[in-house]
A = this chain, B = another copy of it.
């Protein structure tokens, strides 16, 4: 359960309104790496965590803080929108390039839809959506995603910092940048903690192991673009010392030229020798060696077929 205090975590007051900057700042609310993404990503990770205690606590602490960041930036945007032109202004714009820029560049939905408040969208007006978050149940995979998200977030905040010289806006962003630094470091530390606690190691998921995969292909850099770097482009050895990278200079495909089986005639896909005429009115009798039989056999596993596959070998 959540509680809310009307005080914000930090200041969020601009010195002056700036409708153009309000539009840009939306990236930190509704962008793929904005505050809404990290807030909800961490919440779903926390709710999906099987380990009570320090990992879950760290996730829920950070998630709850990020909700407060969405709040700070939303209020900042409402304040930046004070006095944004809501009336007919073309005559005024004709005499004022700076106003023209605002008229051209502001997010029209700030006025028309939100009445001077923030929207849940990014700087291009595209709405935030639930596909931006990841909560896989595997903490290592998710902490890697988290560290990456905080890096993108701090990068975007740094760019936005340079796009204004409003002291009030910069005051808030200096706080946010510090928090991004902390969270970036924190998730990297949490990754090491997972290793130290024996809960996960590389490659993720470590419980699957590498026995099953074709390890002879686990270290190959396939040189499929004709850059000249070749061997030596990377360190010889992976960070954890488990792999020796190998650079394939002229890799050849291991699979055959595939064909795709003729589709069900009732789907009217084009096939060799002309499309078989199967008018809609006459469905093939089921039960007589037709498609249903085939599906049934496949599902019951009755006949494994004659295909034989060998690990790492070509199809034929």
Q: Which residues of B contact A269 (CB under 8 A)?
A: 48, 50, 115-116, 136-138
Known: A7-B257, A53-B229, A315-B11. Is A224-B299 also a contact (CB below 8 A)?
no
Q: Which residues of B contact A194 (CB under 8 A)?
A: 270
Choose from B243, B275, B298 the contact partner of A83 (Cβ within 8 Å).
B298
Instruction: Decide if B226 touches A171 in the complex (CB within 8 Å).
Output: no
Instruction: Decide if B61 touches A307 in the complex (CB within 8 Å).
Output: no
Instruction: Decide if A212 touches B174 in the complex (CB within 8 Å).
Output: yes
Instruction: Decide if A71 touches B98 in the complex (CB within 8 Å).
Output: no
Contact with B along A91-117 (1 / 0, CB 8 A): 111111111111111111101111111
Known: A181-B203, A283-B162, A299-B102. Is A307-B167 also a contact (CB below 8 A)?
yes
- Closest chain B CB from A266 CB (angstroms): 4
21 A-B residue pairings within 8 Å (CB atoms): A3-B4, A6-B226, A11-B256, A11-B314, A18-B90, A18-B299, A20-B104, A44-B119, A50-B262, A54-B229, A56-B227, A58-B221, A64-B224, A86-B163, A88-B163, A89-B292, A101-B101, A124-B125, A140-B270, A177-B208, A177-B214
Instruction: State in angstroms the CA–CA spacing of A125 and B98 once bound together.
Output: 23
Known: A4-B225, A112-B160, A263-B137. Is A179-B217 also a contact (CB below 8 A)?
yes
Q: Which residues of B contact A307 (CB under 8 A)?
A: 13, 15, 167-168
Known: A109-B122, A167-B309, A270-B50. Is A131-B136 also a contact (CB below 8 A)?
no
Instruction: State in angstroms the CA–CA spacing of A126 and B2 once bound together.
Output: 26
- Closest chain B CB from A236 CB (angstroms): 9
Instruction: State in angstroms the CA–CA spacing of A61 and B179 once bound together.
Output: 27
Instruction: State in angstroms the CA–CA spacing of A220 and B303 once bound together.
Output: 49
Q: What is the chain B residue whose CB lies nearest that of A188?
A: B239
Q: Which residues of B contact A209 (CB under 8 A)?
A: 277, 279-280
Instruction: Decide if A135 touches B117 in the complex (CB within 8 Å).
Output: yes
